[in-house]
């Protein structure tokens, strides 16, 4: 096989499996074992920078748990004891599983049996010696934290010493509408974030893109910093803030209007957040 994993290619079918896919992740810094619950390309948000093809509104479909178990065991076996790294030309320094990441082609917490899936993945990864040495990560827009099945799933994630990466791309309701196509209120965002952080270690992930008019962008940055100050005031515990910009082309209608932001803008954000005593990581 002559395929090569790169940080710019997050193809969900590169390994020929339905639920499991490998990624060289910028944020994780190595091999990330991705798990895709949303095989129907359905999400309750529509972020303008999303790379999912044929994205539709909706929830994750029913899970085939037998297939998920078989795929995860098979894939981890190939990585741990097979020739996966050679097949995909993975650089020597990245030949380590950095995390198992629940992400994929939509909002994973929309899965009806989300808690069952989290438990199964955690158990298999622990049995095979991947956890707790590697990280167990849920990448989510955080909009469904109030659902009981999600709360149970977060408790399970915490049991396996996992972490939530909670999306926060905008601190204004108008910004959320333009960037995420979401009507979620600022107060609901804070409620969900508080709930997440109470159940499991939670970090924020923010995608900064050049999309809004200059005046709007300045306003958004100001409100973002103000919201992080409010999070601190409410004593909502955040492990770190991950700032990143686009690395791969969007597959949404706004694609031609979106540009990567430069390092100086990222550093402006980071420095203001560090002044609030947050730990900040930048991925360009």
What pLDDT, on a 0 to 100 scale, did the predictor assign at position 158?
98
Q: Pick from 69, 57, 94, 62: which is nearest to 79 by CA?
A: 94
Sign of CA dihedral 64, 66, 69, 75: negative
Buried/exposed code over 121-147 (b: 16+ C-beta within 10 A; e: otherwise): bbebbeebebbeebbbbbbbbbbbbee
Helix H segments across 101-147? 114-127
pLDDT at 94: 85
What is the pLDDT tens value at each position of the chain, 284 positions in all?
A: 446 555 444 455 566 899 999 988 655 567 999 999 999 999 999 999 999 999 999 999 999 999 999 999 999 999 999 989 888 888 888 888 999 999 989 999 999 999 999 999 999 999 999 999 999 999 999 999 999 999 999 999 999 999 999 999 999 999 999 999 999 999 999 999 999 999 999 999 999 998 888 888 899 999 999 999 999 999 999 999 999 998 888 999 998 999 999 889 899 999 999 999 999 999 87
Tokens coding 160: 């396996």
CA-CA-CA-CA torsion for 145, 148, 149, 154, nearest 10 degrees? 50
- Tell me the residue ranges of DSSP E strands in 122-168: 135-140, 163-167
| Tokens standing for residue 113 | 């049996």
- For residue 112, the model assigns a pLDDT of 97
**Residue 72 to residue 245: CA distance in whole angstroms:** 30
pLDDT of residue 1: 42
Q: Which CATH superfamily is domain 20-283 in?
A: Aldolase class I (3.20.20.70)
């Amino acid at each position: 096989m002559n395929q090569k994993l790169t940080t710019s290619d997050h193809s969900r079918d590169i390994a020929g499996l339905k639920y499991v896919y490998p990624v060289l992740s910028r944020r994780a810094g190595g091999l990330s074992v991705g798990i895709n619950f949303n095989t129907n390309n359905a999400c309750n948000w529509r972020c303008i920078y999303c790379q999912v093809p044929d994205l539709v509104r909706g929830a994750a479909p029913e899970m085939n748990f037998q297939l998920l178990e078989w795929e995860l065991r098979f894939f981890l076996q190939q990585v741990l004891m097979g020739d996966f790294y050679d097949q995909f030309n993975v650089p020597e320094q990245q030949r380590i599983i950095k995390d198992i990441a629940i992400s994929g082609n939509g909002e994973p917490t929309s899965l009806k049996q989300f808690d069952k899936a989290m438990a199964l993945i955690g158990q298999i990864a622990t049995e095979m010696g991947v956890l707790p040495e590697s990280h167990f990560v849920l990448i989510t827009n955080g909009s469904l934290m109030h659902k009981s099945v999600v709360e149970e799933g977060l408790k399970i994630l915490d049991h396996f010493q996992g972490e939530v990466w909670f999306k926060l791309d905008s601190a204004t309701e108008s910004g959320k509408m333009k960037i995420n196509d979401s009507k979620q209120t600022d107060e609901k965002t804070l409620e969900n974030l508080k709930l997440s952080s109470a159940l499991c270690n939670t970090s924020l992930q923010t995608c900064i893109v050049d999309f809004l008019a200059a005046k709007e962008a300045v306003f958004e940055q100001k409100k973002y910093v103000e919201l992080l100050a409010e999070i601190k005031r409410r004593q909502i515990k955040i492990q770190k803030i991950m700032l990143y910009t686009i690395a791969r082309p969007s597959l949404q209608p706004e694609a031609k209007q979106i540009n990567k932001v430069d390092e100086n803008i990222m550093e402006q954000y980071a420095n203001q957040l560090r002044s609030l005593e947050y730990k900040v990581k930048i991925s360009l």
